[in-house]
Structure 1
Amino acid sequence: MALFLAVATIAISLLAWYSFNFLQSYNKARQIGLPLLFSPFDPWGLFWMLGGAFLGPLLLRLPFGLGEFVNHIKSDWCYLNRNALHQKLGPAFILVSPSRIQIVVGDGVAVEDILTKRHKEFPKLPELYQGLKVFGNNLETAEGDDWRRHRKLTVPPFNERNSNIVWTASLIQARGMLKSWVSAGKFGIICTAPDMMTLALHVLTAAGFGKDYSFQPSERRDSTVIKGEKLSFEVALGAVLDSFMGVVISSAFPTASGFLAKYVSKKVDSMKFTVTEFKRNLREMIEEERAVLKTKSSEKSNLMSAMVRASDLEGTQGDGKRTLTEEELYGNLFIFTFAGHDTTANALMYATALLAVNTHVQSWIKEEIHSVIGKSLDTESWEYEKLFPQLKRCLAVMYETTRLYGPVIVLPKSTGSTPSTLTIQGKEYTFPAHSDVMLNMVNVHHSPEFWGPDPWAFRPERWIIKNGVSGTEELLQPPYGSYVPWATGARVCPGKKFSQVEFVAVIASLFQRHRVQPVPQPGETVEAASKALSEAIEDSECVLTLKMKHPEKARLEWEADA
């Protein structure tokens, strides 16, 4: 009886605590005046994060739609739901759970207002960015004056000189990748996604760290991590990027023991070793760069060397302190690599698959490539300053790809320690302090108001407009609040030009003399293969960034033009 009373008391106490918190969240939300949705679980709570994948499908089977809330708290609900919730509830609504309220804003003008005019009133959610400090505080995790200090030192290296390096490195990698793909013949290749990751990694090592690597197809690349052996910079960086979530966990994981040690100790130890090796490589390269600076015998041109020079020379104060600490140097070098690797590689993967389905778009960009570059000029002779500004259709493919399948489907913000007001379609709302504000980028990029009756269609031509006077083609300047894949305002992604140059160089190189098409299964028509590929593209999920669930289903054949 005593045990029963103890268990009952605990259960009643937990229920009372749960109900009190839910009521507090409800009262906080209803005063705002936006439509409400409810979830019994905190979408970012440990319980749902660990058990949601198992519980979700079971809860969705509940009668009378009782489990419908599951579709609103999945990590990629914005993509899966498309803009159905906003069509039903309006440009903004609130998800109420026991631990928090999430104000979901899908109105493009309001979103861009937050990113430009009101960014100080809507800071980032600090708890979501702690993991990005694994190598040190950086531009992405800093706020206020600290952020301004980081930006002053880290953004200048993203300049035209570096863009030229990106262009050259991208052409070299694309050349090697295309050679590998064409050699596969009619059988086709299923390694587009990992090969694009390799390409993006090598462009980053060249332009970011001055380390050049020849392209190796993913199935031939040796990226084995053997504990105790020194890892090359390429292998260490690749391993960190490939298992970033594990790296974040391992950095905060205490020495495993007891029950946990049996299951996770070996994996965590391996990740800690990878992190240690990556830091060792960074430290050695930074020390090498500092030695060069002391002798002034040469001057490298890459992000790392520019950042070290800015930190050590321009940033040295009278007291001898550097503007960026050693850990902050590591943190910024890593965050630029992390942010630029997955995102650009996935944009290239999606674009390649979309072009395989839409052969008329391939012909459209070929017209431009042949007009600007010609059919026979080898990529070794392509000049960045001359050619990149003219390849507008290739850049339009990137814009349309990132509009449809942008890497960030929701951008988390907050109201910080004070309430904030926001005007949404002419009406002002006051958001309480410590509220989550989720910017629904999928809804912004697919608004029929801006993109017409076919916002879900892949149509890069929509980005090209004819100059009425000269008759030349120009890129569309998207209306305010319709397109922000690199964010905008003061916190716009500093690697925006980097990614654009890389994308255009790769696409122009791939399609100058070659075509791509899906490989039909035995007994399947080309039309059926294209439909299957379209379905594989749509079957995407968000794991940090949006990506295809099964990129191996995209079997593609590359062949030379007739």
Structure 2
Amino acid sequence: IALVSLVIASFLWNCLSLYSNYQAAKQLGVPIVISPFDFYQPFWQLTHKALLPLFRRLPKPLNTFTRFSYFGWQFDDKNAAYEEFGPAFVLVTPGMTEFVVSDPGATKELLATHHSYCKPPSIQIVSLYGQNLVTVEKDDWVRHRKLTAPHFSERVSRFVWDESIEQTRGMLRKVFGTVNSISDTLVEDCKIIALHVIMGAGLGASHDFDRGAKGIQKGHTMGLGESVFTTLENITIILVSSSAFSLLKLPIFPKSLRKVGAAAQEYRSYLDELIETEKNRSSDDLNRPNLLSAMVRGNDNSQGEKASRYRLSIDEIRGNLFAFSFAGHDTTANVLVYTFALLAVHPEWQDWIGEEVDEIGNQYPDGLIEYEKIYPRLKRCMATMYETLRIYGPVTWIPRATTAHRSLTFSEPLKVSGEQSTTLPPGMLLNINVYEPHTRPSHWGQDSYAFRPSRFVLTPTETKPNGWIVEGDKNNDGTEKIMHPPSGVFNPWSMGPRICVGIKFSQVEFVAVLF
């Protein structure tokens, strides 16, 4: 009886909460989608893959919520939500209420400041190894930004360029060493490249492509490379387990989970040891071109009474190293994999890129591939990265939350109210749909789903589309130039003050691999 009463009480409470959230959502003046489940709750996280196929059998509109109840729905939904609901709609559940935005103007406003709209509380799962640039807000964010962003310098970019080329050569040696020069390990190989570049430029630990970081240091049960790779490959499990990831090592868990728990703990230990080693490094070996060295040296140079305002704690250095690895490993690897697959399917774009690579490469017959001389000229390689990010980008949405009542303005009228603005209450979760504007025909033309890297390149004989912005020198000097669509339309690295600090890092790595 007690159990039945508990179930009934829970059901009634959820119904009451859903009704209350629905009434509040009606004030927003946008279409409403009702879901009986809060996607962020553990129950739905554990069961949604099994339950979604069942709920999709329901008639419309009862099954509408299933389109928006899992991570990555933006990619699958394409432009359907915008066509049906306009620039915004609200997803109402018994728990959270999520305001979904697919509008360039509103996106610019939401991302223009780090004070008006903050990261949601759920982002704290990324503070697993310490607070970092991704998780902190307000004054702490300003401090972290000032102490981390400058370290993504040209010295680091030059190292990323050289390391990426060396890793790619290693991959090619492996491929051409196989029977018929055929390989079926593209995904794994791209992940190894991304991992080794992150380890080299982030931690100062460089390794050959084929041998990797397999050596096990004293006091450890696995090598640095294996611990980093296993942690990042199982990041969802580790983030969900949070600070209790060490419990995964208990014998009650399967061997695979025990390895994940051990890897996460080993990775943390390695980071602590690397930080301590860097702190004690001799004066003859300082200022090495990696992020770890730069952050430690930045701390050493901060002195005086107000030094704490310009320093990162050991926990924060560790947290930022993890955040940079977490943000830059799988994302870059996935973009490389999709690019190689797209180029295999569309050989005409291989030829297009090859024209640029041959023209520039033939000017350096000695094989000396210098970052400063070559990277800025590889416009077609960069455009290929942009085009892959546009249609197969790893980031499909950006989370935010309101800190107070905020008026949000849109580029076009909202579907229900007919107004071009609405007032958001405090604590409202915001889902900025990155993918939808990336493929809207009104922004990109009728071939918006086609792979066409040249859309980002302005040739000397062409006129740029209305509203597009030419990158760098705008003089017609007879060379091709990169151009960008209007602000708010293309946001693979976000935008505004919280734009990804590793944007240049990822661009240099990608272009070096493709070159």
TM-score by length of 2: 0.90
C-alpha distance after superposition, 1:277-327 (max 9, x if no partner): 22222222222222225x455432211101111123226646889721111
Give identity over the alignment, percent.
38
Residues in 2 aligned to 1:336 and 1:7: alpha-carbon distance in whole angstroms: 46
**SS of equivalent residue, structure 2 residue 301:** helix
Question: For residue 135 of structure 1, what is the aligned residue in structure 2?
Answer: 129
Residues in 1 aligned to 2:100 and 2:133: alpha-carbon distance in whole angstroms: 25
Question: For residue 122 of structure 1, what is the aligned residue in structure 2?
Answer: 117
Question: For residue 469 of structure 2, what is the aligned residue in structure 1?
Answer: none
Instruction: Indicate yes or no: 2:151 matched with 1:163.
Output: no
Question: For residue 350 of structure 2, what is the aligned residue in structure 1?
Answer: 362
1:407-426 alignment to 2 at 5 Å? Answer: 407-416=394-403, 418-426=404-412
Kept in 2: contact 1:395–1:500 (CA 8 A): yes
Residues in 2 aligned to 1:321 and 1:65: alpha-carbon distance in whole angstroms: 53
- Match for 1:347: what amino acid? V
**SS of equivalent residue, structure 1 residue 314:** coil
**SS of equivalent residue, structure 1 residue 69:** helix
Cα deviation for residue 413 of structure 1 reads 0.8
C-alpha distance after superposition, 1:109-135 (max 9, x if no partner): 21122112x4421211122x1211110
Question: For residue 442 of structure 1, what is the aligned residue in structure 2?
Answer: 435
Instruction: Indicate yes or no: 2:53 matched with 1:57.
Output: yes
1:69-80 alignment to 2 at 5 Å? Answer: 69-80=65-76
Cα deviation for residue 457 of structure 1 reads 0.6
Instruction: Indicate yes or no: 2:389 matched with 1:402.
Output: yes
- Match for 1:435: what amino acid? M
C-alpha distance after superposition, 1:208-249 (max 9, x if no partner): 122111112xxx879699998443222221121111122224
**SS of equivalent residue, structure 1 residue 95:** strand
Residues in 1 aligned to 2:355 and 2:293: alpha-carbon distance in whole angstroms: 39
Instruction: Indicate yes or no: 2:91 matched with 1:92.
Output: no
Task: Say if 1:46 and 1:279 are closer, same or farther in 2 by CA, change over 3 A.
Answer: closer
Residues in 1 aligned to 2:447 and 2:405: alpha-carbon distance in whole angstroms: 38
- Match for 1:189: what amino acid? S
C-alpha distance after superposition, 1:392-416 (max 9, x if no partner): 0000000000011111101111112
Question: For residue 482 of structure 1, what is the aligned residue in structure 2?
Answer: 489
Residues in 1 aligned to 2:39 and 2:484: alpha-carbon distance in whole angstroms: 36
C-alpha distance after superposition, 1:81-112 (max 9, x if no partner): 11111101111111111112111100122112
Kept in 1: contact 2:405–2:425 (CA 8 A): yes
**SS of equivalent residue, structure 2 residue 431:** strand
Which of the numbers 262, 265, 268 marks the counterpart of 1:276? 265
C-alpha distance after superposition, 1:504-547 (max 9, x if no partner): 11001xxxxxxxxxxxxxxxxxxxxxxxxxxxxxxxxxxxxxxx
Residues in 2 aligned to 1:318 and 1:119: alpha-carbon distance in whole angstroms: 24
| Unpaired runs of at least 5, structure 1 | 509-562
Question: For residue 450 of structure 2, what is the aligned residue in structure 1?
Answer: 457
Task: Say if 1:125 and 1:378 are closer, same or farther in 2 by CA, change over 3 A.
Answer: farther
- Match for 2:209: what amino acid? F
**SS of equivalent residue, structure 1 residue 236:** helix
Question: For residue 470 of structure 2, what is the aligned residue in structure 1?
Answer: none
Task: Say if 1:486 and 1:315 are closer, same or farther in 2 by CA, change over 3 A.
Answer: farther
- Match for 2:339: what amino acid? A
Kept in 1: contact 2:247–2:261 (CA 8 A): no
Task: Say if 1:315 and 1:198 are closer, same or farther in 2 by CA, change over 3 A.
Answer: farther
Question: For residue 248 of structure 1, what is the aligned residue in structure 2?
Answer: 239
- Match for 1:337: what amino acid? S
**SS of equivalent residue, structure 1 residue 200:** helix
Cα deviation for residue 262 of structure 1 reads 6.8
- Match for 1:467: what amino acid? P
C-alpha distance after superposition, 1:181-224 (max 9, x if no partner): 233354732211110000111111111122111112xxx87969
Kept in 2: contact 1:312–1:322 (CA 8 A): no
Residues in 2 aligned to 1:349 and 1:176: alpha-carbon distance in whole angstroms: 17
Question: For residue 44 of structure 1, what is the aligned residue in structure 2?
Answer: 40
Cα deviation for residue 47 of structure 1 reads 1.5
- Match for 2:377: what amino acid? Q
Instruction: Indicate yes or no: 2:175 matched with 1:181.
Output: yes
State how many pairs are aligned: 494
**SS of equivalent residue, structure 1 residue 103:** strand
Instruction: Indicate yes or no: 2:300 matched with 1:312.
Output: yes
Question: For residue 323 of structure 2, what is the aligned residue in structure 1?
Answer: 335
**SS of equivalent residue, structure 1 residue 437:** strand
Kept in 2: contact 1:447–1:482 (CA 8 A): no
**SS of equivalent residue, structure 1 residue 476:** strand
Kept in 2: contact 1:250–1:272 (CA 8 A): no
| Unpaired runs of at least 5, structure 2 | 413-419, 462-475
Residues in 2 aligned to 1:297 and 1:254: alpha-carbon distance in whole angstroms: 35
Task: Say if 1:315 and 1:137 are closer, same or farther in 2 by CA, change over 3 A.
Answer: farther
Cα deviation for residue 256 of structure 1 reads 5.8
- Match for 1:453: what amino acid? Q
Cα deviation for residue 479 of structure 1 reads 1.2
- Match for 2:45: what amino acid? M
Instruction: Indicate yes or no: 2:138 matched with 1:144.
Output: yes
Kept in 2: contact 1:223–1:239 (CA 8 A): no
Question: For residue 237 of structure 1, what is the aligned residue in structure 2?
Answer: 228
- Match for 2:244: what amino acid? F
Which of the numbers 370, 384, 409 marks the counterpart of 1:383? 370
Question: For residue 523 of structure 1, what is the aligned residue in structure 2?
Answer: none
Task: Say if 1:130 and 1:69 are closer, same or farther in 2 by CA, change over 3 A.
Answer: same
Question: For residue 416 of structure 2, what is the aligned residue in structure 1?
Answer: none
Residues in 2 aligned to 1:343 and 1:56: alpha-carbon distance in whole angstroms: 27
Residues in 2 aligned to 1:142 and 1:409: alpha-carbon distance in whole angstroms: 22
Cα deviation for residue 375 of structure 1 reads 8.4
Kept in 1: contact 2:134–2:323 (CA 8 A): yes
Which of the numbers 414, 423, 437 marks the counterpart of 1:430? 423
Kept in 2: contact 1:25–1:101 (CA 8 A): yes
Residues in 1 aligned to 2:247 and 2:141: alpha-carbon distance in whole angstroms: 35
Residues in 2 aligned to 1:169 and 1:347: alpha-carbon distance in whole angstroms: 18
Question: For residue 467 of structure 2, what is the aligned residue in structure 1?
Answer: none
C-alpha distance after superposition, 1:51-103 (max 9, x if no partner): 11111112222355633421221212111111111101111111111112111
Question: For residue 373 of structure 1, what is the aligned residue in structure 2?
Answer: 361
Instruction: Indicate yes or no: 2:260 matched with 1:285.
Output: no
- Match for 1:423: what amino acid? T
- Match for 1:121: what amino acid? S
Residues in 2 aligned to 1:227 and 1:26: alpha-carbon distance in whole angstroms: 58
Residues in 1 aligned to 2:431 and 2:63: alpha-carbon distance in whole angstroms: 22
Task: Say if 1:473 and 1:170 are closer, same or farther in 2 by CA, change over 3 A.
Answer: same
**SS of equivalent residue, structure 2 residue 450:** coil
C-alpha distance after superposition, 1:476-510 (max 9, x if no partner): 122112111011111111110011001011001xx
Task: Say if 1:229 and 1:261 are closer, same or farther in 2 by CA, change over 3 A.
Answer: closer
- Match for 1:471: what amino acid? G
- Match for 1:286: what amino acid? I
- Match for 1:460: what amino acid? P
Kept in 1: contact 2:30–2:90 (CA 8 A): yes
TM-score by length of 1: 0.82
